[in-house]
Amino acid sequence: MPRYRVVRKSFLNLNPANPLAARIYKIGEVVEYDGPAGTNLEPLDAEAIEAKQAHGRPYASQLAPYPRDRGGA
């Protein structure tokens, strides 16, 4: 299963069969996720890189920072 590092504090449900399994993940945590990963997840292995490319999802480093990441509201 693809492995990712959380690069932004994120509310994720890694078990779609159980909606109550969702929780907040902190920056730096490593997760295994089989769905389409958003910009809050950076791939850690070849399987994750392929999955991100297949879904056409950008990496966080390719985006402008969120206003709150720059000290904004």
pLDDT of residue 66: 55
Q: How many domains does the chain have?
A: 1
Secondary structure of residue 55 in the 3-state scheme: coil
Q: Is residue 68 part of a domain?
A: no
Q: Is residue 28 part of a domain?
A: yes
Q: Are 4 and 43 in contact (CB under 8 A)?
A: yes
pLDDT of residue 7: 93
- Answering whether pTM is above 0.95, one says no
Domain that holds residue 10: 3-61
Q: Is residue 46 part of a domain?
A: yes
Q: What is the pLDDT along the chain (73 residues), one digit of tens a residue?
A: 999 999 999 999 988 888 898 999 999 999 998 888 888 999 999 999 998 888 776 665 555 555 555 554 4
Nearest Cα residue to 42 out of 64, 54, 57: 57
